[in-house]
Amino acid sequence: MIILKKVWLLCLVVLFLSSCSPVDSLMDKLSFLNPSEYKGGESSSDSIQDGPASSKINSADKQATELEETLLEETVFNEIQTVNGREVIQNASNLFALVNKDFGLPAEYFPDDLVRPDVSFSFGNEDVEKSKLRKEAANALEEMFNEAKQKGIMLFAVSGFRSYNRQETLFTAEVQKIGEEMAIEAVAKPGNSEHQTGLAMDISSPIVGLSLTEQFGETLESKWLEKNAHKFGFILRYPKGKEHVTGYMYEPWHYRYVGQRIAKELYRNDWTLEEYVEIAQKIKDV
């Protein structure tokens, strides 16, 4: 049973790494595995010969093991309850809460460990709610900004925590400006913004006037963040080319803290948080 589970984990990892969905394509990639060799409890390592195929399966096996270990040590799943037609996350303080257009936070959720990180802000020293992050994320942000500064990369924090009431104000203003349909594409509905987790920070640089614009994605600062943020536990939450997965347009300025272990997995596999949770759920269900 353990061997069969391991084979299934390998299949899942190879499937996601290849970005293929057809089962036939997946089996072609694993054609060097002989299912009969797993009967009787033989070790997979004993049944695979050295060579390119062995190297591929060993690599996939390593990733499957790491993902399984992550699941054993981390909580990555939302606990959902339908409230007035909304899918509301009940374990809102979960560090890995998946907040998007489908899953939202309770209106009353307000993290109890918000602090102001010691970094440069686009609005100076003003002490407002958007200058706050949860303590663990704030500490990591400080480390990331300090490392960037040492490399000559000048980063500025623009907007962090955003309460439900603040979300309502912003969403209403956007609807009045461009209409509800377009507003939904640009601004999260109240309760469905990652900023309410206290784990997300919008980041910019002087070269784009400290603004939140797609042009930031072309800057040296943005490219440094893309390559290094995972080392500090942050992920680029809404990457280009994954709009159909996240449901949001490309936002090179929006970074989300998930901790170094999961951030490493997402960066290495080019996954969004949605994709990670999907494969993690499948592994859990095996």
Q: What pLDDT, on the 0 to 100 scale, is given for residue 245?
A: 96
Q: What pLDDT, on the 0 to 100 scale, is given for residue 211?
A: 97
67: pLDDT strictly greater than 90: no
Tokens of 42: 């033989």
CATH fold of the domain at 107-272: Muramoyl-pentapeptide Carboxypeptidase; domain 2 (3.30.1380)
Which residues lie closer than 8 Å to 264 by C-beta, 6 or more apart?
A: 230
- Strand order across the 156-159 sheet: 156-159, 200-204, 251-257, 234-238
Most confident of the following: 43-47, 54-58, 161-165: 161-165
Q: What pLDDT, on the 0 to 100 scale, is given for residue 100?
A: 95
- On the 0-12 / 13-18 / 19+ scale of CB atoms within 10 A, 150 is exposed
> Which of the two residues, 173 and 42, has the higher pLDDT score?
173
Percent of the chain having pLDDT more than 90? 63
* Per-residue exposure over 237-276, b if at least 16 CB sit within 10 Å of its own CB, e if not: bbbeebeebbbbebbbbbbbbbbeebbbbbbebebbbebb
User: Domain coordinates of the chain in residue numbers?
Assistant: 2-73, 107-272
Average pLDDT of every residue of the chain? 83
Average pLDDT score over residue span 131-151: 98
Element spanning 133, H or E: strand 133-134
Q: pLDDT per residue over 106-127, tens digit each? A: 999 999 999 999 999 999 999 9
Q: What pLDDT, on the 0 to 100 scale, is given for residue 165?
A: 95
C-alpha neighbours within 13 Å on the C-beta side of residue 37: 12
> Which of the two residues, 13 and 283, has the higher pLDDT score?
283
